Amino acid sequence: MNILITGGAGFIGSHVVRRFVTTYPNYHIYNLDALTYAGNLENLKDIEKASNYKFLKGDIVDEAFIFEIFKEYRFDGVIHLAAESHVDRSIKDPLAFVKTNVIGTVNLLNAAKEFWKDDIEEKRFYHVSTDEVYGSLGQIGLFTETTSYDPNSPYSASKASSDHFVRAYGETYNLPYVITNCSNNYGPNHFPEKLIPLFINNIIEGKSLPVYGDGKYTRDWLFVEDHATAIDLVFHKGNNHETYNIGGFNEWQNIELVQLLCQIMDGKLGKPAGFSEKLIEYVKDRPGHDLRYAIDANKINKELGWKPSVTFEQGLERTVDWFLQNKEWLSRVTSGEYQEYYNKMYS
């Protein structure tokens, strides 16, 4: 099989690429990434010379380029992870999220529709989405696969739109698709703009830990390697035209998460108890901030046998260990030097 993985140099994408390259040596894995600010080929140094792996630099917004690579490589499947994904950035520049998340997805759908029309039953378009499309929960309840969409940020609105386009192509053109909506991911190689890697880096550097509002916003957290395992299962065994929610069964208020992270970091860095908590600073809330997300992942558990392999405490400690053992990676990412890797290796 020839499998196209979009956004494969990003955080989640790199873990998916690695899993497919190492688990399926008879597959040819094509990693398409535009290498914008969060795409980092250093995430894949360990498999970049594998015989069944090829990196393609390009942007899913470029329709001509997408059709060109579909024609050249004859993909049997697409795992679509490429996306603008940071809520704060979407508030400042919504149109960038429309271009990548909506138009880019439609470009991929159009190419799949065109090049798969002769043997479409043998293909699969896998669209990776987010729980944020469902909006905000109150104190009780869980997001299920039938929860109505109610996005509240430009980011979640763009992802909701792309989900709708994937389903529409399935209904209108009989395109074989699966969609997964996942909760917040964390783990190794996470770009340090998101909460956990940002705070790990800030604690290392003795900087403040900015917590929005009262810190009681609640999220469900999913270890990235468990997510990659779930994607593998859904790609191979999921039913066409189905949606699967992927969650970690780990609900944490932001302030509780930060306090746990501070405790772990103090222990790892040999600091006295409570040292890092002094860095916590409550800051003005962001617009449209959803109170709570929580995934009901029972469908994927019952149908495909997937469940998280680690608790949040275990996964967070593994994440901290990775960042402390890879301070050079963190330094290159925060300085921007990581972007030079493509020129060194591929130009």
Which residues are catalytic, by number? 131-132, 155
Stated as kind and residue range, the H or E segment containing 321 is helix 312-325
Is 289 in contact with 344 (CB distance < 8 Å)? no
Stated as kind and residue range, the H or E segment containing 33 is strand 28-33
**What is the distance between the alpha carbons of residues 80 and 77, in angstroms, rounded to a whole number?**
10
- Strand ranges in 213-342 using DSSP code E only, listed in sequence order: 218-223, 242-246, 251-253, 280-283
- The angle at the Cα of 324, spanning 323 to 326, to the nearest 5 degrees, equals 60
User: Which of 191, 199, 207, 258 is closest to 38 using CA atoms?
Assistant: 191
Neighbours of 103 (CB within 10 A): 17
Buried b (16+ CB within 10 A) or exposed e, 203-217: bbeeeebbbbeeeeb
- Tokens 């190492």 locate to 22
Residues whose CB is less than 8 angstroms from the CB of residue 329 and which lie 6 or more positions away in sequence, other chains included: 42, 189, 338
What strand order describes the sheet that includes 251-253? Answer: 184-186, 218-223, 251-253
Q: What is the DSSP string of 161-194?
A: HHHHHHHHHHHHH---EEEEEE-EEE-TT--TTS
Neighbours of 267 (CB within 10 A): 12
